[in-house]
Structures are given as structure tokens and as C-alpha cells.
């Protein structure tokens, strides 16, 4: 198992995916690392699609790296994670990193880790050095992390998904959402495991409903079943978004209030941007 030094070397060589895997091995029960992996994959996808600027990419990359370094400090030299210092066990563990800024890791379990790094260290004051203790989670000033959104859709409706993603870009840039769909599955990754994992940890599950959506066996057997189970357990919010006219009312999710307004299909709008605006406003209401 990689130790602290080996993991830091992976990070310094920009082998972030390998560093994440090593940290997950050291912290197998830590859901906050899954959130970091989610954010890293989302960043890579945006880079490949050309939908993120250099400045935004640099800021988010530096935040992720700082968070990974913080987790490295919780790994013993033998590669094991001490149980008493796990950041997700109580949500109140202080950690330190070098650099500057305020890094927040919002855990899946709702316990944010706030890594507060001084911007201007003063040599004469030990409390202002870059290794000073971080501000712990639980303070009233800690902002919430992004809500993880899972998109359940048919491959035949990919164009609709891309339109929706563009309309959600402001919420993403403001750090309110972290969107995931199956195009973020990496080469060599097991797609079924990736989808089930994201479904299990999503805060909001958006169902992009159409006749093709309803005709897909995998969507019924895995995505709809998992989504409705989590809805019944009140661990996720499930929203049908009606793309094209179809008979969806007599389905397990037919009892849910859909978007756009009055579940009017997006394709029925003369101005499709108006339809997506109604969808985005509906999602914003959940975030607020």
C-alpha cells in the first residue's frame, strides 16, 4: 500500500487519478474522497470538452490538489489511515496544508472539512505559518458544498442533455452543483460500477423522460429502481424532466412533480430556451 511520501510524489507528478486511488485504499470508508474523485472527473471532462477556461481550471485544480495533500497528512508512513483521525468520522478534524486560500471539502455524509490556509505567513508568529491548524468544520460560516447531480437519460436524447448542461453552467461556475453523466466514465473504468456508485451518492437525480428513456431496460432495472428507492428513503431528490411527449404518468416516478412547468415537454416549446429556463429555475429552488 502506498505511503504518505509515495502519494505526495504521485500528486507532484500530476498523477492525480493514481493518487486518489491510493488515498481511497488508505481511507476505504471515507466518502469525502469519493466527492473529490467526482470533482476531478468533472474537471477532466470539462477540459476535454473545452467548456472551462484556463483561469477557472487552474483555481479548481489547485483546490483539489490542496485537498488531496490534506488527506495525505492523515496517512501513516506505512500507508494506513489512523482511525482516530479520519476527517469523515466526526467532521471536526483539523488538518493543515501548505499554500494559501480556504479549501472546503463537502462530504457526502454532510460533514464539510474546512481547510483554512493563511495567505500571508509571518515568520515571527507561529500561529500564522502555513502549517497552522485549520479552522474545523461545524462553524456557522461554512458554506455548503456543491450538490451532486446525476443525469439518467437515453443515448438518443444526448442533444437534450448537452442543452441542459449549458443552461446549468452558471450554477456549476458558482459552485452550487457538480454534474455527472456517463460520458465522464474514464477509459478502462467499469461503466456499471461507475453508474451505480454515482447513483448511490447523488444528491439530485434528474430523469430525462422520453419514449426512448422508457424503452431502455438498463434505465428501468438500475437507474429508475435505485432512484425511487432513494426517493422513498428520502436520501435523494428525484425530478422527472419531460423531454418529448410520452406516456410516463403510470410509472413509479409518475407521482413526482416534473419539469418544465406542468411537465410540458421541452420539445413542445416554441422557444426551447424558455423551457430550459423553467427547468433551471426549478432546480435552483431545491438548492436554496
* List of domains in the chain: 4-128 (no CATH), 147-287 (3.40.50.10140)
The pLDDT, as a whole number, for residue 280 is 96
Residues 213-219, mean pLDDT to the nearest whole number: 95
Say yes or no to pLDDT of 258 above 70: yes
Specify the higher pLDDT residue, 139 or 184.
Answer: 184
Establish how many alpha carbons lie within 13 A of residue 232's alpha carbon, considering only the half-sphere containing its beta carbon: 8
Q: What is the mean pLDDT of residues 265-288?
A: 94
Q: What is the pLDDT averaged over residues 18-38?
A: 81
> pLDDT at residue 169 above 80?
yes
What is the predicted pLDDT for the residue at 40?
A: 83
- For the cut 50, the answer to whether the pLDDT of residue 4 exceeds it is yes
Between 170-184, 254-268, 270-284, the lowest mean confidence (pLDDT) is in 170-184
Give the pLDDT score at 99. 40
Interval 98-129: pLDDT, tens = 343 444 433 333 334 343 333 334 444 444 34
Confidence of residue 211 (pLDDT cuts 50, 70, 90): very high
Q: What is the mean pLDDT of the chain?
A: 76
Percent of the chain with pLDDT over 70: 72
pTM beyond 0.85: the answer is no
Amino acid at each position: 500500500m502506498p505511503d504518505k511520501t509515495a502519494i505526495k510524489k504521485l500528486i507532484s507528478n500530476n498523477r492525480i487519478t493514481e493518487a486518489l486511488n491510493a488515498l481511497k485504499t488508505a481511507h476505504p470508508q471515507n466518502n469525502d474522497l469519493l466527492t473529490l474523485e467526482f470533482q476531478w472527473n468533472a474537471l477532466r471532462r470539462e477540459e476535454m470538452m473545452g467548456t472551462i477556461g484556463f483561469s477557472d481550471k487552474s483555481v479548481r485544480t489547485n483546490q483539489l490538489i490542496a485537498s488531496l495533500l490534506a488527506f495525505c497528512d492523515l496517512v501513516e508512513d506505512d500507508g494506513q489511515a489512523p482511525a482516530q483521525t479520519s476527517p469523515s468520522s466526526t467532521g471536526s478534524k483539523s488538518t493543515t496544508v501548505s499554500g494559501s486560500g480556504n479549501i472546503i471539502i463537502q462530504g457526502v455524509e454532510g460533514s464539510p472539512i474546512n481547510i483554512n490556509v493563511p495567505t500571508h505567513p509571518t515568520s515571527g508568529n507561529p500561529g500564522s505559518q502555513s502549517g497552522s491548524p485549520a479552522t474545523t468544520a461545524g462553524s456557522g460560516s461554512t458554506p455548503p458544498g456543491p450538490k451532486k447531480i446525476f443525469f439518467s437519460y437515453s443515448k438518443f436524447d444526448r442533444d437534450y442533455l448537452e442543452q441542459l448542461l449549458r443552461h446549468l453552467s452558471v450554477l456549476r461556475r458558482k459552485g452550487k452543483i457538480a454534474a455527472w453523466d456517463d460520458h465522464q466514465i474514464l477509459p478502462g473504468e467499469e461503466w456499471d460500477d461507475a453508474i451505480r456508485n454515482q447513483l448511490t451518492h447523488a444528491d439530485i437525480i434528474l430523469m430525462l423522460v422520453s419514449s426512448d428513456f422508457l424503452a431502455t431496460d438498463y434505465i428501468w432495472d438500475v437507474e429508475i429502481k435505485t432512484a425511487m428507492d432513494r426517493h422513498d428513503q428520502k436520501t435523494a431528490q428525484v425530478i422527472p424532466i419531460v423531454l418529448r411527449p410520452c406516456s410516463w404518468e403510470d410509472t413509479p416516478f409518475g407521482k413526482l412533480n416534473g419539469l418544465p412547468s406542468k411537465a410540458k415537454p421541452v420539445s413542445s416549446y416554441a422557444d426551447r430556451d424558455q423551457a430550459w429556463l423553467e427547468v433551471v429555475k426549478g432546480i435552483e429552488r431545491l438548492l436554496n
